[in-house]
Amino acid sequence: MAEKKECPYKKIHWILAIAVVVLLAAAFKLGYYKSSYHESYGSKYNRNIITVSGNSEIDASPDKAEMYVAVSNEALAAKEAKDKNSETSNNVIDALIKQGLKKDDIETSSFTISPKYEWENDEKGIGKQVFKGYEVRHVLKITTQTIDKIGEFLDAAVDAGANNVEQIRFGLTKEKEVEVKTDALYEAAKNAEEKAIVLATSLGVNLKKAVSIQETSFSYQPYYYDTRSFETAAMAKMESTQVIAPKNVEVRANVNVVFGMK
């Protein structure tokens, strides 16, 4: 009588079946653990907490200025306009360095060469655009921490050939920003604590220590100086240097704090 052969896949089937049972048991146990954890966490914190946001807004004196001055030249040929602009720009940079600025404090913000057209009417009164040459515009960005000499820097730039002061922006250096941020976050945290105390007192509960603190935002708004006043003074060729006194910059911070209560 022929001996029955055992199916070669029988052992594999048993191994797979056992593996499935083990995985199902592990999944059930993990689900139970998560459920128990969430219930425990919820009973400990979520049902006995006060969540508040704290805000602060403080003023800080700027310790950095960025000035944008433009040098514009026009000529019939593009190369001629570019050469004129290069000469004037170098004169402006040299004048600024003589005032105490470093070469690294002066950089190109933008440089453009563009054709110029004007609208003219011919003998028959028909209007058309007429080519008038090229304009080269070089904008220099000047960064300094010597706030009290900004008027002198701009005077030197205009006297050397700069024909437009585009923008003066006052802000904070990285070191000053870190310092101010610390103060702003401290005030925001104190504001959150004061709110939590008011809420807890009004509800007749005891406030416990903070269990969670999160910084949600920090920003400051640079102060932009109105350059029109400087240009008016320059056009009037006033001999005295215009005093440019910046206003403080506004610094804001926001935090979320979770306090326990009982």
- CATH of residue 218's domain is 3.30.110.170
pLDDT of residue 65: 96
Task: Say if 148 falls within a structural domain.
Answer: yes
Over 50: is that where the pLDDT of 166 sits?
Answer: yes
Span 55-79, mean pLDDT? Answer: 95
Which of the pair, 237 or 218, is modelled with greater confidence? 218
Q: Give the model's confidence band at 14: pLDDT under 50 very low, under 70 low, under 90 confident, else very high.
A: low
Span 118-140, mean pLDDT? Answer: 87
DSSP annotation of 225 reads: E
Same domain, 154 and 189: no
pLDDT of residue 79: 95
Same domain, 115 and 195: no
Contact between 231 and 164 under an 8 Å Cβ cutoff? The reply is yes
Span 50-76, mean pLDDT? Answer: 95
Encoded tokens for 217: 């935002």
Q: Which domain holds residue 194?
A: 48-63+173-226+239-262
Over 80: is that where the pLDDT of 132 sits?
Answer: yes
- CATH of residue 158's domain is 3.30.70.2970
Question: What's the Rg (C-alpha) of the chain?
Answer: 35
Same domain, 58 and 114: no
Over 50: is that where the pLDDT of 23 sits?
Answer: yes
Span 118-122, mean pLDDT? Answer: 84
Same domain, 155 and 182: no
Task: Say if 42 falls within a structural domain.
Answer: no
Same domain, 103 and 191: no
Same domain, 162 and 183: no
150-187 core/surface letters (b: 16 or more CB in 10 A; e: else):
bbbbbbbbbebbbeebeebbbbbeeebbeebbeebbeb
Same domain, 208 and 161: no
Same domain, 187 and 245: yes
> Of 67, 254, 246, 251, which Cα lies nearest the Cα of 177?
251
pLDDT of residue 42: 43
Over 90: is that where the pLDDT of 214 sits?
Answer: yes
Kindly state the percentage of the chain with pLDDT values over 70: 77
pLDDT of residue 125: 74
At 92-115, the pLDDT tens digits run: 999 999 999 999 999 999 999 999
Question: How many domains would you assign to the chain?
Answer: 2
Same domain, 198 and 68: no
Same domain, 160 and 181: no
